[in-house]
Amino acid sequence: MMKIVIGDHNYSSWSLRPWLALKQTGIPFEEICLRLRESRTREEILKYSPSGKVPCLIDGTTVVWDSLAICEYVAEQSPTLWPSDRKARAEARAISCEMHSGFGALRSSMPMEIVSSRPYDARTAEVEADIARIVSIWESCRLRYAQDGPFLYGNFSIADAMFSPVVWRFLTYAVELPPASRAWIETMRLLPAMQEWRDAALAEMAR
């Protein structure tokens, strides 16, 4: 059985992405959750991940230590994690990579803290630009693929998983959104796997 090593549910946005993708496939896996921001955190992570960071997937002797690489590895066993149409699949990969490497202002100013409520009005121009770009991606996807289902490309895909931490960010910081984006966020929020992740975050913070 595969194992996925993750960080705190409340904070670890990178962990959520491949965990959610894996969960949506129905492939059985073991979850190993390590607490972040503690004196022995890096030492504990290095027992599993050569990069010293989470997430990390372990499948027998194979170790994969990057969130998007883990998603791609899982998609080889569950091809429906990418859109079936070649052009949609290419675009889904492009926006997933953009999320993976970009939006630094949003990440630093609006970290994922699922159990918090922090309406945030004094956003920098850089953060507003990141929000606008993300919303434009979502609106474009929903405009073209709404007839195929409620996710970005109709059916759930890695693209949805890659943007899943932004769901919690926008809810935490009360970001106002146009209708199509609000509907997608609600679809994501109500996913049983997303609710499971949130419940785990609540349990962690209650300790």
Mean pLDDT of 192-196: 98
Of the candidates 61, 79, 97, which is a domain's last residue?
79
Q: Is residue 61 part of a domain?
A: yes
Mean pLDDT score across all residues of the chain:
96
Quick: pLDDT tens for 114-147: 999 999 778 999 999 999 999 999 999 999 999 9
**Domain boundary residue among 79, 107, 127?**
79
Any domain includes 120: yes
The residue ranking higher by pLDDT, 154 or 120, is: 154
Say if residue 64 is in the same domain as residue 24. Answer: yes
How many CB atoms are closer than 10 A to CB 87? 8
pLDDT in tens, 19-59: 999 999 999 999 999 988 888 999 999 999 999 999 999 99
pTM: 0.96
Residue 24 falls inside a structural domain: yes
The reply to whether 102 and 182 lie within a common domain is yes
Three-class SS of the chain: CEEEEECCCCCCHHHHHHHHHHHHHCCCEEEEECCCCCCCHHHHHHCCCCCCCCCEEEECCEEECCHHHHHHHHHCCCHHHCCCCHHHHHHHHHHHHHHHHCCHHHHHHCCCCCCCCCCCCCCCHHHHHHHHHHHHHHHHHHHHHHHHCCECEEECCHHHHHHHHHHHHHHHCCCCCCHHHHHHHHHHHCCHHHHHHHHHHHHHHCC
Give dist(CA 157, CA 83) in Å, integer: 7
pLDDT on residue 120:
74
> Do 68 and 41 touch, CB atoms closer than 8 A?
no
Q: What is the CATH number of the domain that holds 111?
A: 1.20.1050.10
33, 52, 79 - which closes a domain: 79
Whether 187 is in a domain gets the answer: yes
Where residue 10 sits, what CATH number does that domain have?
A: 3.40.30.10
In a domain, 198, yes or no: no
Quick one: 159 and 72 in the same domain?
Answer: no
Number of domains making up the chain: 2
Residue 204 domain-assigned (yes or no): no
Q: Which domain holds residue 98?
A: 80-193
In a domain, 200, yes or no: no
